[in-house]
Structure 1
Amino acid sequence: MDMQVQSFAVANLRRRPETVEAGGFVAGFVPGTDSPYINYATPLPGARPTRQDVTALIGRFRERGLLPRLEFAPEAAPEVEPALRAAGFTTEAVHEYLVCAPDTLAPPRHAGAPRVETPATDEEFLRLDAALAEAFGGLFPASAEGAARLRRTQEGGGAVRFVRDPHGGAAGGASCSAPAEGTAELSGVGTRPAHRGRGVAAAVTASLAGAMFEAGARSVWLEYSGEGSRRVYERVGFRPRGTRLYVSLPTAERD
């Protein structure tokens, strides 16, 4: 699964408005934002980068005033991590990823399960973006561009789902990328604090996975942020399969 997830990461970055490929790396950039969570690189599966390759990659970020940063499944390219460490990259995080297949998907079927919807209007995308911003504690501030990214995901072959709150806003939701290499990444699962513990995350996660299977994906994968969320995802059919590594170059190394 590591090779499939890493191949997906490459294909997904190649969808960015601006893509640079060099030395066994693919870097994806989105003009108008300096967010390191949007602008980052990943290696090709099996890449064997030289010191010069890594230096060139760093330069691609520096010339744009961006933090050199990578996300990847280390087992799919074992020689990449040592090359990055030698250049001064340090670990931001190591995340386990979970995978769901059509035969393990278990959507909530109890009578009180939330009703999941697909946003269609600009207002619904804006309300969902605001709900996710609150769910993640302002890490990603609500914005028109955030709502536009959600719409692009929906219109680009991916899927976006949300649960409406009693006042017509969004209690929570999530999105899933368009499939590539037989799999799709489900991300940004978030529920407003006032609506947690009511099955919102489980409902939207299962709905998105089901939508991707209907679109032809053979699997859907995601990363979780804590044991509580892991239990939610496991209840709807996700199982642990590997890890992903997040690394970046400290500021002192960039000056």
Structure 2
Amino acid sequence: MTDMILTALERYYDAVPRRGGARGEDFGPLTLFVQEGEGWKYYARPTPGAPEATAADVERVRERQRELEVPEAFEWVAENNPALRAAAEAAGLHVHAHPLMVLEADAEPPAPHPDVRVLGPDDPLLAAAVTVPALAFSAPGTALGEAGPAELASALADPGVEQRRAFVARMLATGRTGLAAAVRDGVVLCSGQFNPVGEVSEIVGVGTLPAARRQGLALGVTAALVERARERGAGTVFLSAGDEDVARIYGRAGFRRVGTAMIAEPSAE
């Protein structure tokens, strides 16, 4: 059963960039997804059915990424491509692993959170909702932190926020994503999205302002996203947790670990 799920997720990972307007450049064992216009800057992934990549293959893709001035990022599932970690590290990349989790088919959803609601493309809080995760992920983990409403207000002054808001609004309007947020006193404290492709949906970007953590907001947002994904026909709902502590929280929402999501990128040092 797990092998079938991992195969379905591999098809999903290959389809998502193409659905988002990216083209795939063939590097044999690896495919580099290149976004031609606006939108997310994608990664390179193993080519389905191809042999394992070598360090030389990884470096060839990195050269092309530098040429295109896009992130030198690689993503894959460890169980599907077990040799890629060693190849990426040999090519000089930093590799980190994240629990890959799938929602149990018979999982009972948590009770709806009173502060959580679904946002549409014209919602006045959409700009804040697409900004909160960046503040959350700048201080990863589940511990309380300093960034709160004041820091969010400051971040909203960034000129790039409007471009991100407009892009997500178009995705919402065309059904390429769904978004939920925890809102209290008019302030977005947590938000996240789900991205559907066929009968598979991935929960992505669930982040809580560090000052608002440990209130069940991320669990409430996740539950709302799962509900909407299922309403849209999702038979498989999955996500990648930031770490084991975060994975335990998702476990309370009915997710179980099926593998390990891998990311390779240049070291921040």
Q: State TM-score, norm by structure 2.
A: 0.77
CA contact under 8 A between 1:45 and 1:76: conserved in structure 2?
A: no
1:66 aligned counterpart, secondary structure: coil
Distance 1:32 1:179 in 2: 20
Q: Which runs of 5+ in 2 are unaligned?
A: 141-154
RMSD (Å), alpha carbons: 3.2
Matched, 1:70 2:74: yes
2: distance between equivalents of 1:114 and 1:103? Answer: 25
Q: 1:233 aligns with which of 250, 261, 269?
A: 250
State whether residues 94 and 267 of structure 2, in contact with CA within 8 Å, keep that contact through their aligned partners in structure 1: no
- Match of residue 47, structure 1, among 46, 50, 54: 50
1:193 paired with 2:194, answer no
Cα deviation, 1:200-238, whole Å, max 9, x if unaligned, reads 111110111121122222111112223442232111111
In the alignment, the residues of structure 2 paired with residue 217 and residue 57 of structure 1 have an alpha-carbon distance, to the nearest angstrom, of: 33
- Other-structure match for 1:150: 168
Inter-partner Cα distance in structure 2 for 1:15 and 1:68? 21
2:265 aligns with 248
- In 1, the alpha carbon distance for the partners of 2:139 and 2:248 equals 24
Cα offset for 1:67?
Answer: 4.1
Distance in 2, matches of 1:224 and 1:2, equals 16
Whether 2:63 is the aligned partner of 1:59: answer yes
Matches within 5 A, 1:1-255: 1-22=5-26, 23-30=28-35, 38-48=41-51, 49=53, 53-54=57-58, 56-78=60-82, 80-86=84-90, 88-108=91-111, 113-121=114-122, 123-137=124-138, 143-154=161-172, 155-166=174-185, 168-180=186-198, 182-248=199-265
- Cα distance, 1:50 vs structure 2: 6.4
Unaligned residue ranges in structure 1 (runs of 5+)? none
Q: How far apart, in 1, do the equivalents of 2:266 and 2:104 lie?
A: 35
**Contact 1:186-1:220 within 8 A present in 2 as well:** yes
Deviation at 1:162, TM superposition (A): 0.8
Separation in structure 2 between the aligned mates of residue 249 and residue 171 of structure 1, nearest angstrom: 31
Which secondary structure does the structure 1 equivalent of 2:100 belong to? strand
Moved more, 230-239 or 43-52: 43-52
The Cα of 1:117 is off from its aligned counterpart by 2.5
- Asked if the contact 2:119/2:181 (under 8 Å) is kept, the reply is yes
After TM superposition, the score normalised by the length of structure 1 is 0.80
Deviation at 1:105, TM superposition (A): 4.0
